[in-house]
Amino acid sequence: MRIRIETLRKQYGTMAALDNLSLEIADGELFFLLGPSGCGKTTLLRALAGFVEPDAGRILFDGRDMTGVPTHQRRAALMFQGYALWPHLTVAENVAFGLEMLGIGRGEREARVRRALDRVRITDLAGRKPNALSGGQQQRVALARTLVVEPACLLLDEPLANLDAKLRLEMRAEIRRLCKEAGLTAVYVTHDQKEALAAADRLAVMDRGRLLQAGAPRDLYTHPATPFVAGFLGPANLLPATVAAATPEATELALPCGLRLRAGAGAGVAAGAAVTVCLRPEAIAVHEQAPAAANGFAGRLVESAYLGGMAEHTVVLDAPAGDGPALTVFETNPPPNRLPGAPVWLRFPPEHVTVLPG
């Protein structure tokens, strides 16, 4: 199913839950909606399902306008955050419930339930009640119940929120496998950045009812359009700066503390412009002495947390007027002598210095 959303608007009192939002989702795409609480992502999902009627705009499924089309005729199945399993029914009976409501005959109903349970790998649990299942098993039952009606589009509202970290990883991969095997178009709401970056074909970042940027996970992470997108998609050092000079080959940036750094080509900003510099912690290199290349700065390690194969440092840069900005830095396989108070050198490769609108 191809989904096209045209200038969708939904108002609750004075708040615009959806503010003239437009978006296209390709057939068979696993598309993530990402944003803080209250940004409108769940409202958009419920509008796709038919539970929310927009005030303006259109939703088209394969070119067909869904305005006024009831939920059960949309071929879009919504899986809620709470699994909503009937406690008095067995796993098989829970999965079959939607088919009974559609009037599917017993023989076909049983065959489809078996196929759905097999797809989510819980055939052996068919006779159990929900209270005898783990959280991950209940999640699979909810998935089977959604898939058994054979939707063209799967809508998922933070489906992994109730699972522990290990199960989240397992079920994230399972949901992606199921969607790809079935050729489903899926729209997946989450506020978990890692979940979206790891599993999405494409994703969109929303805030206050508006779509800020959409694209492939790597593109949004490495080339965010705004400081909000940069900060929401993962750890980022965001520094105010002024463009001191701009050429097709490089951009020279002046920080308020008196330091200067260079960004790579293609920043697309003019001299004198106020900008925000984005430095990802993993793109900052740690050195024992002054690096010979551009963008090398002395600093002082003020805090460090060992995280196994990586350490998270806080480094304050030395600046002409005293202390410069405090930066978060990720270092892989850090040496044991990297202790708070130690002097360090940092280097920001120009190609990893992202210049954003101020």
- 230, 254, 276 — which closes off a domain? 230
Q: Which of 283, 332, 285 is nearest to 312 (CA)?
A: 332
d(CA 203, CA 187) in angstroms, rounded, equals 9
Which is higher by pLDDT, 80 or 276? Answer: 276
**Res 356: pLDDT:** 93
Are 9 and 75 in the same domain? yes
pTM, to two decimals? 0.89
Q: How confident is the model at residue 79 (pLDDT cuts 50, 70, 90)?
A: confident
Q: How confident is the model at residue 266 (pLDDT cuts 50, 70, 90)?
A: low
Q: State both tokens at 144.
A: 């089977």
**Res 267: pLDDT:** 65
Beta pairing partners, 38: none
pLDDT tens per residue across span 271-329: 899 999 999 999 999 998 888 888 999 999 999 998 888 999 999 999 987 789 999 99
Q: State both tokens at 123.
A: 């055939």
Are 240 and 278 in the same domain? yes
pLDDT tens per residue across span 24-33: 999 999 999 9
Are 183 and 326 in the same domain? no
Q: Which of 351, 305, 354 is nearest to 330 (CA)?
A: 305
Contacts of 107 (CB under 8 A, 6+ apart): none
Average pLDDT of every residue of the chain: 92
Are 187 and 272 in the same domain? no
Are 122 and 148 in the same domain? yes
**Res 202: pLDDT:** 98
- 230, 256, 280 — which closes off a domain? 230
3-state secondary structure of 198: helix
What does each C-alpha distance from 37 to 114, 193, 205, 208 come to in angstroms? 37, 13, 12, 9
Res 358 pLDDT > 90: no
Are 342 and 289 in the same domain? yes
Are 163 and 243 in the same domain? no
Give the angle subtended at the CA of 106 by the CAs of 153 and 149, to the nearest 5°: 5
3-state secondary structure of 95: helix
How do beta strands 185-190 and 30-34 pair? parallel
**Res 323: pLDDT:** 82
Q: Which of 19, 25, 22, 28 is nearest to 5 (CA)?
A: 22
Average pLDDT over residues 331-342: 86
- 176, 207, 230 — which closes off a domain? 230
* Overall domain count for the chain: 2
Helix (H) or strand (E) holding 344: strand 343-347
d(CA 276, CA 227) in angstroms, rounded, equals 7
Are 41 and 160 in the same domain? yes
Are 283 and 336 in the same domain? yes
Are 122 and 244 in the same domain? no
CATH number, domain of 276, equals 2.40.50.100
Q: State both tokens at 274.
A: 């106020």
Average pLDDT over residues 120-148: 90
Are 203 and 241 in the same domain? no
Which residues form the domain of 266?
235-357
CATH number, domain of 165, equals 3.40.50.300
**Res 282: pLDDT:** 95
Are 20 and 99 in the same domain? yes
pLDDT tens per residue across span 84-107: 889 999 999 999 998 888 888 999
